[in-house]
Each structure stands twice: as structure tokens, then as C-alpha cells.
Amino acid sequence: MNGTNFCLITGMPPGLLYIVDKLAQTGRLECVVIHHTIAKRHLSIRSIVRSIRDFFEEPRRHQARIMRSHLTDYDECHVIDKHVVEKLRLLADKYAFDLILKSSINTDNQVCEYLKQSTAQYALTLGGPVLKPAILKSFNGMWLNCHGGFLPYYRGLWSEYWAIKNGDFDKIGWTIHELVERIDAGKIFQKEKVVYNPDETLEELTLRVHSQMITGYIAFAKALPNSTIKALQHKVETKYYYSRPKSVSLDKVLQTKVRCL
């Protein structure tokens, strides 16, 4: 493969099978590398950390949440890892792309060697751990990431939460940017705002951002050119990096209406 082919490097977020299927239909998907243990540690919408124990205690509740992302035609078995993996293998056979399942991409030499030999022009990332410099340097093409926050203002985790807490209601959205060693700090290629509803819960807002982000990322990937991507010009005085909120119940925060945060 050559030209505008791409690899997908990801965890196992809701919508994974939808993303892989849509990208594979382009005929330009060279490989999919999955950090498969991410789903066991972080079954979540992007960075919202939820335990596997909670998923199995209330599977119907969480499946209903995933349904609201409009991606369940592909991910109806998302709660059970092995079923998702089986479907991924079927897609790999159908569309003839390489499927690599690893428990830790950052410590696996096979992934580095594969990326060194890859002829793809782009490596697309979505979720998963922060990639170490050795992985980033092993790929000769450009790394791209889709971040569930409005860059450059909200880097890191829980972007919707922090934007609302800071009163930045016009800075809720998602961003496609170049993946570099510094987290969420690469050149910005596309960013879109998502209008919030003060009467929806934070979880509902996050699901809407996630769903729109996936749709936008797929469209962006399909349109990737052979030439250099043009970065957006922007001016900003401050760049924030946030982690998950401390000393709060994650479940309680997720079920809180936006106007009450």
C-alpha cells in the first residue's frame, strides 16, 4: 500500500468497530493496532475512567449510554472484550488489513518494527495511553490524533467538565491535531465546537461530543491528501492542561446536569 494510506492506533472506545469499518471501506486502511487492555482498565467515553466491575454490575445501564452515541449497530457487544476482538478479526479478513493486538504498545518491539516498515502516510490515533517517543519516531509518516476538547485551550482529560467549570461554554468541542511528544500540543488541522445544553448531564454532553468527534474524524481521514495538510492559524494567550477532577465521585459528576456543575 502507498499514497494516502493510514494506520489506526487506538484503545477500545465506544464506536471502535464503527470507525474501523468506515475507514476500511476506503480501501486505504493498512493496519489497526489495538491496546486491548485499555478496555479492561478504562471502559469509558475517551478519558472518563470507569472500572470493568461497574460495567458488569450494571451492563444494561451502560449499554443504554452507548446506544445514545448512535454507534451500537457495530458495538452492541462492546461490554465484552472478546466479542469486539472477534468482530475486528472478521473486518480484518474482509478488508485485508493487518490487525495487531497488544497489551502495551509502548513496550512492544513488534509494533515499532511494523511501523518502521509501514508505507502508510498517516497514523491515526484515538484513545489509549500516551505514546512514548520511541513509538512516535518509529513511523516515517505523520501522526494525527482526535482530541475530545477544544484546542489549544483545553488539553488533557475531562475537557467538557473543565470548560464548563471555567465558564468557557464556547470552548466545548473536539480537535484534530498533529500528535507530538507534548500532550495535545501539535499543529491543529480541524476543530469544531459543540453547543451545550444546560439541562443535559455531563455524560450526555460527553457522549454527544464523542459521537460528533468520531463522525468528523472519519470524514477527515477519508479526505487526507497526498500533500502536506494545512494547519489552522490561531492566536491564544493561555493553554491549559487538565487531568481528571480530584476528590469527587466520577459517577456523581457524570450524572450532574451541566447547569449544576
Is 101 contained in some domain? Answer: yes
What confidence tier does 113 reach under pLDDT thresholds 50, 70, 90?
Answer: very high
Question: For position 107, what pLDDT does the model report?
Answer: 83
Q: How confident is the model at residue 105 (pLDDT cuts 50, 70, 90)?
A: confident
Beta-bridge partners for 54: none
Which of these ranges, 36-40, 92-96, 189-193, has the smallest mean pLDDT? 36-40
Mean pLDDT, residues 225-235 taken together:
79
Q: pLDDT band at residue 81, thresholds of 50, 70 and 90? A: low
38 part of a folded domain: yes
The per-residue pLDDT for range 115-144, each reduced to its tens digit, is 999 999 999 999 888 899 999 999 999 999
Query: What span, in angstroms and rounded, lies between the C-alpha atoms of 120 and 53?
Result: 38
Range of the domain at 94: 6-260
Do the domain assignments include residue 19?
yes
**195 within a domain of the structure (yes/no):** yes
The predicted model gives 48-65 an average pLDDT of 38
Any domain includes 200: yes
**Cα-based distances in Å from 177 to 12, 59, 187:** 20, 34, 5
Residue 47 has pLDDT above 70, yes or no: no
Report the number of distinct structural domains present in the chain: 1
In a domain, 1, yes or no: no
Q: Flag whether pLDDT at 214 surpasses 90.
A: yes
* Average pLDDT for 186-215: 93
Model confidence, pTM: 0.82
Cis before 152? omega within 30: yes
Joined together, the cell numbers standing for residue 238 give: 493561555
CA distance 78 to 132: 27
Query: Rounded to whole angstroms, how far apart are CA atoms 90 and 106?
Result: 26
CB 127 within 8 A of CB 38: yes
- Find the CATH number of the domain harbouring 135: 3.40.50.12230
End-to-end CA distance of the chain: 49
Residue 255, pLDDT above cutoff 50: yes
Residue 237, pLDDT score:
58
Domain membership flag for residue 23: yes
- The grid coordinates of residue 28 equal 486505504
**How much is the mean pLDDT over the chain?**
80
Confidence of residue 236 (pLDDT cuts 50, 70, 90): low
Between CA 8 and CA 143 the distance in angstroms is: 10
* CA pair distance 128, 108, nearest whole angstrom: 15
- Rounded to whole angstroms, how far apart are CA atoms 177 and 4? 17
Q: Does residue 237 lie within any of the structural domains?
A: yes
Distance CA 117, CA 201 (A): 45
Longest CA pairwise span in the chain (Å): 51
The band of 37, judged by pLDDT with boundaries at 50, 70 and 90, is: low
Q: Cell for 8?
A: 489506526
